[in-house]
């Protein structure tokens, strides 16, 4: 155990959606390092397995790879059943899976709108609905919003709206689940360099990734983008009992982006 790892999730079972890449992968690894058994759900089988294998290498027997689309109710039910059957309980759910979309309200495609809402908003609802049947006192649900759910980001209409829905859903879930001892909070990160963000950064730079990056950094007082680990740290805190008085909170690890 390193000084960073002190068993903050010892004995707990966590399900992380979109665990195959970026923030979800960082969080799944961090949760396992802090003692949790972690089910890594991803729509891409090879990515779900990759993260599970990475966990298993360091913490044998603490991972379970699950394949499923969070926007599909049947696949979600199956995944949650498999996770709870494996370890007999569920304490932490990180609703991290999400997809990008592009376009302003004037030109966004209807399919993109449906996809953003299907995965980001409905996916959060479906996985939470299946998970809360198995969660009780001390449970923690961490939803993944975005600064795009709090402020307008140019040419991101469907994404902004879907993440705004996640923020509203979080508050509703927090109120409904508080009597059962389950806390629900939402993280709204600023831009983090992951595969999800590359197309957006490229588009912002007129096809030039470096130009898009430079333009984006102007929005960040801290002068850099975030890292997956920095978001995973926040997810870990909210997942752990250290955040026991926090529910319905909107947390913004965003380098000061929304402070301006």
Ligand X SMILES: NC(=O)c1ccc[n+]([C@@H]2O[C@H](COP(=O)([O-])OP(=O)(O)OC[C@H]3O[C@@H](n4cnc5c(N)ncnc54)[C@H](O)[C@@H]3O)[C@@H](O)[C@H]2O)c1
* Contacts with ligand X, residue ranges (CB under 6 A): 17-18, 20-24, 42-44, 47, 69-71, 96-99, 119, 123, 144, 146, 189, 191-192, 194-197
In sequence order, the 6+-apart residues with CB closer than 8 A to the CB of 123 are 17, 69, 70, 71, 76, 95, 97, 98
Report the distance separating Cα 240 and Cα 9, nearest Å: 6
Looking at 94, 159, 193, 220, which residue is catalytic?
Answer: 159
193 carries an active-site annotation: no
Measured from the CB atom, is 23 or 135 closer to ligand X?
23
Closest distance of CB 129 from ligand X, Å: 15
Measured from the CB atom, is 123 or 139 closer to ligand X?
123
Q: Give the CA angle between residues 140, 10, 243 to the nearest 5°.
A: 35
Report the distance separating Cα 67 and Cα 214, nearest Å: 36
Measured from the CB atom, is 88 or 109 closer to ligand X?
109
CA quadruple 224, 150, 137, 237: dihedral, nearest 10: 10
Closest distance of CB 23 from ligand X, Å: 4
Closest distance of CB 250 from ligand X, Å: 13
Closest distance of CB 28 from ligand X, Å: 11
Catalytic residues: 159
């Amino acid at each position: 155990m390193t000084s960073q790892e002190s068993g903050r999730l010892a004995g707990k079972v966590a399900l992380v959606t979109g665990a195959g890449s970026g923030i979800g992968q960082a969080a799944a690894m961090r949760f396992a390092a802090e003692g949790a058994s972690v089910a890594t759900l991803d729509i891409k089988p090879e990515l779900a397995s990759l993260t599970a294998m990475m966990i298993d290498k360091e913490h044998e027997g603490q991972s379970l790879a699950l394949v499923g689309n969070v926007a599909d109710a049947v696949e979600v039910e199956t995944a949650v059943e498999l996770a709870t059957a494996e370890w007999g309980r569920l304490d932490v759910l990180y609703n991290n899976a999400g997809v990008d979309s592009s376009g302003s309200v004037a030109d966004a495609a209807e399919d993109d709108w449906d996809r953003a809402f299907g995965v980001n908003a409905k996916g959060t609802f479906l996985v939470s609905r299946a998970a809360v049947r198995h969660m009780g006192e001390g449970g923690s649900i961490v939803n993944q919003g975005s600064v795009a759910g709090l402020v307008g980001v140019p040419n991101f209409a469907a994404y902004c709206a879907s993440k705004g829905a996640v923020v509203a859903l979080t508050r509703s879930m927090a109120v409904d689940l508080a009597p059962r001892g389950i806390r629900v909070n939402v993280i709204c990160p600023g831009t983090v360099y992951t595969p999800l963000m590359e197309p957006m950064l490229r588009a912002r730079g007129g096809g030039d990734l470096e130009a898009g990056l430079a333009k984006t950094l102007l929005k960040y007082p801290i002068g850099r983008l975030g890292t997956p680990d920095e978001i995973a740290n926040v997810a870990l805190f909210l997942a752990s009992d250290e955040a026991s008085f926090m529910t319905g909170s909107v947390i913004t690890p965003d380098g000061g982006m929304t402070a301006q």
